[in-house]
Amino acid sequence: MDRVALRGLKARGHHGVFPREREEGQTFIVDLMLGLDTRPAAEADDLAKTVHYGVVAEEVVAVVEGEPVDLIETLAERIAQQCLKHDGVEEVEVVVHKPDAPITVPFDDVTITITRSRV
Q: Report CA-CA distances (Å) from 100 to 22, 26, 57, 105.
A: 13, 7, 22, 12
Instruction: Name, in order, each residue with C-beta under 8 angstroms of 108's C-beta and a sequence gap of 6 or more.
Output: 99
Model's pTM, two decimal places?
A: 0.96
* 3-class DSSP assignment, residue 26: strand
Summarize pLDDT for 70-88 with one digit per residue, the tens.
999 999 999 999 999 999 9
The pairing of beta strand 91-97 with beta strand 111-117: antiparallel
The predicted pLDDT at position 119 comes to 74
Could you give the residue numbers annotated as active site? 98
Low-confidence ranges of the chain (pLDDT < 70): none
